[in-house]
Homo-oligomer: A and B are copies of this chain.
Amino acid sequence: MARQQRAIRTRRIFLQAAAEVFDEHGYDAATIAAILDRAGLTRGALYFHFTSKEELARGVLQEAVTLDGVTPQTFKLQEWVDMALLLAYRLPREPLLSASIRLSVDPRARGLFGTRWPDWIALGTDILTEAKERGELLPHVDPEATSRLVVGAWTGVQLVTESMAEPLDLVAEISALFELILPNNAVPGVLARLDTSPHRAARIIEQQRAVPVP
């Protein structure tokens, strides 16, 4: 059991190191040597888990779609908002997430590995479909088309935000994005009770840290 846990931790260290190197240099310029150097572990340990740079990239992309931190809410639409806010909060702090965007917008890496956008779109579609069944959405809203547009919008807002000369807060930008689109999605009674505040993401994460893991 201890050995298995160590293996999981080692695998995680290599994925983190690979994500950092992909994020900083791009897929093509990333080398196994740089990833080993970042991980501070041996080549033997690496090859036990990953046989190539390609496999490391696939591993990074595999970890990148996560609902971690999103908990059941009174309104499904709040879960949709939480998913977007939490991702915005975590992305600048977690190389696995930013590397996965960098791999997705790089046409060569995208050609090799595809993107995780279809999975994000599917997650959002599920949440919005349930929201619609519960009567939270206006009748004209198409869950899949809306989820697809918002995954795109989220991604582009992230790219523009990180490219700006003046530093902008991604969570604040994503919060503003949802304030822009929710009035045309949510029924008024639900809209008034959704929390799209930029502080919500940090608050959720702090609360979850405060709860002792059983």
Contact of A153 among B148, B157, B182 (CB under 8 A): B157
Q: Give me 11 other A-B pairs in contact (C-beta within 8 A), A155-B159, A155-B160, A180-B185 excluded.
A: A26-B107, A117-B164, A148-B173, A149-B173, A152-B157, A152-B160, A152-B173, A152-B177, A153-B153, A153-B157, A181-B181
Residue contacts A-B, CB under 8 angstroms, 9 given: A26-B106, A110-B163, A146-B180, A152-B173, A153-B157, A154-B156, A156-B156, A180-B181, A180-B185
Q: Is A145 in contact with chain B by the CB < 8 A criterion?
A: yes
- CB interface residues, A 124-178, toward B, < 8 Å: 145-146, 148-149, 151-161, 163-165, 173, 176-177
| Copy count, this protein chain | 2
Q: Is A104 in contact with chain B by the CB < 8 A criterion?
A: yes
How close is A158's CB to chain B, nearest CB, in angstroms?
8
Q: Using a Cβ–Cβ cut-off of 8 Å, how many residues does chain A contribute to the interface with B?
A: 43
Q: Which residues of A contact B (CB under 8 A)?
A: 26, 28-29, 102, 104-108, 110, 114-115, 117-118, 121, 145-146, 148-149, 151-161, 163-165, 173, 176-177, 179-185
Measured between alpha carbons, how far is A183 from B154 in the docked complex, in Å?
19
Q: Across the two chains, which residue of chain B brings its CB closest to A163? A: B115
Interface secondary structure of A, over-half rule: helix
How close is A21's CB to chain B, nearest CB, in angstroms?
13
The 4 closest A-B pairs by CB, nearest first: A156-B156, A153-B153, A152-B157, A152-B160
How close is A17's CB to chain B, nearest CB, in angstroms?
18
How close is A190's CB to chain B, nearest CB, in angstroms?
15
Contact of A160 among B29, B106, B148, B176 (CB under 8 A): B148
| A114 partner residues in chain B, CB cutoff 8 A | 163
Q: Which of A105, A114, A151 gathers the greatest number of chain B CB atoms within 10 Å?
A: A105
How close is A175's CB to chain B, nearest CB, in angstroms?
10
| A154 partner residues in chain B, CB cutoff 8 A | 156
